[in-house]
């Protein structure tokens, strides 16, 4: 076994490889870009070396420099992870030339599977079933068109050198073929500098089922069962599971044997994945082979109890496969969700920024989190914006599904947008629970998965106000404890100083709209006034969350504060509000009395108090609008309203007096 390896990758996969290496007593060398100084993967390794600037070309793709570092640091092998240099034949060869072991297949196997057309010709020769199609060398337009006609429409044009869904075009009719061919070629040329294409039958409602294979240098090869990756968005995987729902043992053995035949046909060594496309009937066809560890390998680990990185390291150091085919078993069901920093409401655009707050479900035997980011880290524009892979195991699929839904409700990310709610809707969708899977699932259920304008209802807004109250109460307790007078009524946060009706008014904003919530204190419970409804409530803190009861309905929720932002989490959903009281910079505030002035020129929208009213600290008094933003003027301390200078609709200039308050003592 190796004593030291270099991990030529970043993020969760580098952290994950380092973890297994440590378990096996292998020292690890990290490499990193300037954007990744202090990243988790750097901390996870024993040594770390800077590669260069953030763009991959100047860092993680610098094969020569990586090899130089490996040699200098005394590493014996390089683990490439996935992406970057993992399927680069030249890099694999350069490692060998430098006397290093490339933890992956031989360069020739990478080359054999590098071209979709070439690999299909090889697979046909090995009797692996292929989607009916044309994979020939001759790229004449008229010939391709005639081949498409012979296959029968719809057909799919694919770039031979393709990957990531690029250079792929569905053609529905004979007449559309020439234009689609032209555009597929242009995209292939610009993405892969190779405009060769292949054509195949376009299957309707297919499933993506892939087989994990493993081979050693001694001629042993096994399949470690299948993963269903049918839940895709634009041909990119979103959710993966193992085993594939509805897979019969006979079909599994057929697909497994076909995958092993594919691997043996190219003298494969190490971990690989043979991807098949399957019709609903179960008939399956070879699509491509990925000659590396896959992102979704943890679902296979969860149902087998194996560590595939350990297998990779053993095989690369010349050991025999730890287990042979008849020693492999499936136990239970596993699901993986890819948690991404992206914005589902804006067509899943990557969401770049700092992670201000991060809470994950607690890792356990049945809940695994593979991640490379921590609270405070940046999601940069240079790399894949994946935050984590959340993997769960269950005794069966329904249990795994419930665990996934529950785990997703315990995931909180503030600072970037995420697909967490989208994932929650996906795993709780009845059609997903019924395993009606195909690659068109997301497109077909778009409406349910991406509902428009789901504004927070009264119970959400009421919960938010209760959470805010709990924050104020906790803050008051802290002040009281440090004051030496823990029982002083001056530190009570229950609004006692108001004479008849003890209440507090909270002012929030949701997507630019103001929300005022009045919370009345009624002994141990509350009455919450919202514009359209009043709710009676109790609230209790449980851990970092709150158990809220509203008119008899009880639920758990969490509220996270980040500056003026308030993010309320409840049952897999999150709503982002702004707390307006903290926004105000009104006038001189001396002790609750004084003159409250306009922080900027604008218009008064509403006045929330009357002359003579007693007000509490932080109570919203007046709302104004300036530069398309709303500003709430709040009472700097307890007091009485002496004068109100303006009414709704009035234009005011920066610095003019809006209200006059008398401090509570003088009132």
C-beta separation of 75 from 6 below 8 A: yes
Told to check if 208 binds ligand ADP by CB under 6 A, we report yes
Kindly state the smallest distance separating residue 280's Cβ from ligand ADP, in Å.
Answer: 12
478 is catalytic: no
Nearest distance in Å: CB 221, ligand ADP: 22
Closer CB to ligand ADP, residue 27 or residue 207?
A: 207
Spatial contact of 350 and 342, defined as CB atoms under 8 Å apart: yes
DSSP 149-181: HHH-SSEEEEETT--TTTT-EEE-SGGGHHHHH
Angle, vertex CA 320, rays to CA 319 and CA 326, nearest 5:
155
275 touches ligand ADP (CB under 6 A): yes
- Residue 374 within binding range of ligand ADP, rule CB under 6 A: no
Residue 289 touches ligand ADP, criterion: CB under 6 A: no
Q: Find tokens 């390089």 and name the residue.
A: 78
For 167, list phi and psi in degrees, rounded to 5: 75, 25
Q: Which is nearer to ligand ADP, 133 or 298 (CB)?
A: 133
| Spatial CA neighbour of 598 closest among 645, 643, 640 | 645
Of 201-209, 448-456, 466-474, 643-651, which segment contacts ligand ADP by CB under 6 A?
201-209
Give, as ranges, the residues between 433 and 452 that touch ligand ADP (CB under 6 A).
439
| Comparison of 33 and 232: residue with beta carbon closer to ligand ADP | 232
Q: What minimum distance in Å lies between the beta carbon of 316 and ligand ADP?
A: 25
| Contact between 277 and ligand ADP per CB under 6 A | yes
Would you count residue 206 as binding ligand ADP (CB under 6 A)?
yes
Give the other-Cβ count within 10 Å of 566's Cβ. Answer: 24
Nearer to ligand ADP, 277 or 407 (CB): 277
**DSSP run (H or E) holding 490:** none
Asked if residue 199 binds ligand ADP (CB under 6 A), the reply is no
Q: Which is nearer to ligand ADP, 215 or 277 (CB)?
A: 277
Residue 202 interacts with ligand ADP (CB under 6 A): yes or no: yes
- Residue 275 or 494 with smaller CB distance to ligand ADP: 275
Closest C-alpha to 396, from 331, 311, 323: 331
The answer to whether 27 and 62 have CB atoms below 8 angstroms apart is no
Distance of CA 239 to the CA centre of its chain: 11
User: Considering the complex, what minimum distance in angstroms separates the CB of residue 238 from ligand ADP?
Assistant: 11
Binding test (CB under 6 A) with ligand ADP, winner from 74, 165, 590, 655: 165
Q: Which residues contact 657 (CB under 8 A, 6 or more apart)?
A: 587, 595, 596, 597, 645
Binding mask 97-136 for ligand ADP (x = CB under 6 A): ----------------------------------x-----
Please list, in sequence order, all residues whose beta carbon lies within 8 angstroms of the beta carbon of residue 242, skipping any fewer than 6 positions away.
225, 226, 227, 228, 299, 300, 302, 303, 330, 333, 334
Q: Which helix (H) or strand (E) holds 218?
A: none
* Residue 340 or 441 with smaller CB distance to ligand ADP: 441
CB of 206 to ligand ADP, least distance (A): 5
Q: Kindly state the tokens that stand for 99.
A: 């006397």
The residue with tokens 């034949």 is: 89
Give least dist CB 439 to ligand ADP, A.
Answer: 4
- Cβ atoms of 435 and 357 within 8 Å: the answer is no
- Count the residues of the shown chain that bind ligand ADP, applying the rule CB under 6 A: 20
How near is the Cβ of 131 to ligand ADP at its closest, in Å?
A: 5
**DSSP count for the chain of H helices, then E strands:** 17, 39
> What is the number of other CB atoms lying within 10 angstroms of the CB of residue 76?
18
Nearer to ligand ADP, 259 or 598 (CB): 259
Q: Which of 12, 195, 200, 301 binds ligand ADP (CB under 6 A)?
A: 200
Give the interface segment with ligand ADP, choosing from 80-88, 202-210, 321-329, 518-526 (CB under 6 A): 202-210
Residue 287 binds to ligand ADP (criterion: CB under 6 A): yes
- Given the residues 227, 292, 504, 640, the one annotated as active site: 292
Nearer to ligand ADP, 201 or 570 (CB): 201
Q: Which of residues 166-195 bind ligand ADP (CB under 6 A)?
A: none
Residue 116: name the closest of 100, 131, 105 by CA: 131
Q: Cβ 203 to ligand ADP, closest distance in Å? A: 4
How many angstroms separate the CA atoms of 54 and 35, rounded? 5
Q: Is 32 in the site for ligand ADP (CB under 6 A)?
A: no
Residue 228 found at the interface with ligand ADP (CB under 6 A): no
Q: Which of 311, 340, 272 is nearest to 86 (CA)?
A: 272
Does residue 517 contact residue 506 with C-beta atoms inside 8 Å? yes
Nearer to ligand ADP, 89 or 275 (CB): 275
Which segment (5-13, 87-95, 197-205, 244-252) binds ligand ADP by CB under 6 A? 197-205
In the region spanning residues 145 to 164, those forming contacts with ligand ADP, defined by CB under 6 A, are: 156, 158, 162-164
Q: 208 or 393, CB closer to ligand ADP?
A: 208
Peptide bond into 471 cis (omega under 30): no
Stretch that binds ligand ADP, among 7-15, 198-206, 245-253, 509-517 (CB under 6 A): 198-206
Report in angstroms how near the CB of residue 179 gets to ligand ADP at its nearest: 20
Which DSSP letter does residue 87 get? T
203 interacts with ligand ADP by CB under 6 A: yes
Q: Which of 59, 232, 304, 459 binds ligand ADP (CB under 6 A)?
A: 232
SS3 assignment, position 205: coil
* Residue 515: strand, helix, or coil: strand
Query: Are 123 and 92 in contact, with CB atoms under 8 Å apart?
Result: no
Minimum Å distance from CB 201 to ligand ADP?
A: 6
Regarding 272 and contact with ligand ADP (CB under 6 A), the answer is no
CB of 469 to ligand ADP, least distance (A): 49
The percent of the chain in helix, strand and coil, each rounded to the nearest 5, is 30, 35, 35
Rounded to whole angstroms, how far apart are CA atoms 10 and 88?
17
Active site members: 292
Question: Which residues form the interface with ligand ADP (CB under 6 A)?
Answer: 131, 156, 158, 162-165, 200-203, 206, 208, 232, 235, 275, 277, 287-288, 439
């Amino acid at each position: 076994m190796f004593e030291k390896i270099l991990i030529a990758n970043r993020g969760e996969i580098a952290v994950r490889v380092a973890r297994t290496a440590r378990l096996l007593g292998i020292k690890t060398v990290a490499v990193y870009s300037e954007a990744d100084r202090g990243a988790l993967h750097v901390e996870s390794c024993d040594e770390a070396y800077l590669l260069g600037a953030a763009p991959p070309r100047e860092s993680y793709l610098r094969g020569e420099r990586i090899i130089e570092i490996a040699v200098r640091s005394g590493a014996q092998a390089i683990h490439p992870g996935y992406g970057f240099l993992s399927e680069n034949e030249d890099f694999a060869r350069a490692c060998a030339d430098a006397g290093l072991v490339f933890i992956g297949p031989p360069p020739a196997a990478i080359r054999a599977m590098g071209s979709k057309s070439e690999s299909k010709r090889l697979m046909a020769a090995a009797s692996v079933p292929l989607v009916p199609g044309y994979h020939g060398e001759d790229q004449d337009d008229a010939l391709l068109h005639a081949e498409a006609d012979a296959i029968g429409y719809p057909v799919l044009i694919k770039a031979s050198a393709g990957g990531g869904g690029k250079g792929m075009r569905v053609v529905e009719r004979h007449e559309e073929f020439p234009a689609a061919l032209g555009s597929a070629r242009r995209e292939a040329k610009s993405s892969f500098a190779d405009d060769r294409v292949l054509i195949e039958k376009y299957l309707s409602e297919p499933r993506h089922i892939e087989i994990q294979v493993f081979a050693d240098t001694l001629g042993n090869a096994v399949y470690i069962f299948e993963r269903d990756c049918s839940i895709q968005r634009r041909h990119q995987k979103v959710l993966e599971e193992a085993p594939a729902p509805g897979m019969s043992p006979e079909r599994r053995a057929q697909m497994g044997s076909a995958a092993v035949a594919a691997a043996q046909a190219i003298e494969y060594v190490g971990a690989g994945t043979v991807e098949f496309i399957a019709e609903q009937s179960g008939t399956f066809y070879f699509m491509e082979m990925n000659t590396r560890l896959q992102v979704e390998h943890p679902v296979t680990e969860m149902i087998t109890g194996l560590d595939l990185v350990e297998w990779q390291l053993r095989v690369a150091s010349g050991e025999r496969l730890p287990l042979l085919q008849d020693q492999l078993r499936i136990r239970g069901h596993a699901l993986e969700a890819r948690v991404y920093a992206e914005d589902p409401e804006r067509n899943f655009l990557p969401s770049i920024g700092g992670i201000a707050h991060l809470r994950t479900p607690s890792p356990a035997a049945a809940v695994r989190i593979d991640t490379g980011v921590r609270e405070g880290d940046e999601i940069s524009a240079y790399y894949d914006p994946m935050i984590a892979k959340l993997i769960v195991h269950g005794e069966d699929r329904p249990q795994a599904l419930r665990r996934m839904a529950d785990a997703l409700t315990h995931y909180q990310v503030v600072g970037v947008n995420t697909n967490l709610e989208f994932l929650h809707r996906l795993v709780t969708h009845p059609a997903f629970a019924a395993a009606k899977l195909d690659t068109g699932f997301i497109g077909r259920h778009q409406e349910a998965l991406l509902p428009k304008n789901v504004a927070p209802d009264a119970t959400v807004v009421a919960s938010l106000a209760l959470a805010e109250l709990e924050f104020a109460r906790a803050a008051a307790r802290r002040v009281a404890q440090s004051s030496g007078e823990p029982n002083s009524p001056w530190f009570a946060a229950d609004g006692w100083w108001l004479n008849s009706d003890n209440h507090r008014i909270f002012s929030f904003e949701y997507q630019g709209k103001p929300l005022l919530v009045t919370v009345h204190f009624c002994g141990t419970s509350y009455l919450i006034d919202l514009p359209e409804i009043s709710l009676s409530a109790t609230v209790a803190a449980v851990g970092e969350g709150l158990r809220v009861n509203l008119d008899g309905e009880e639920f758990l929720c969490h509220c996270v504060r980040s500056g003026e932002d308030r993010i309320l989490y409840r049952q897999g959903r999150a709503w982002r509000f702004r707390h307006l009281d903290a926004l105000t910079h009104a006038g001189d505030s001396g002790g609750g009395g004084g003159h409250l002035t306009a922080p900027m020129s604008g218009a008064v929208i509403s006045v929330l108090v009357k002359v003579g009213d007693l007000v509490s600290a932080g109570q919203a008094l007046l709302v104004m609008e300036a530069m398309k933003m709303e500003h709430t003027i709040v009472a700097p301390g307890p007091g009485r309203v002496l004068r109100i200078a303006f009414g709704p609709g009035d234009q005011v200039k920066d610095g003019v007096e809006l209200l006059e308050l008398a401090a509570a003592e003088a009132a």
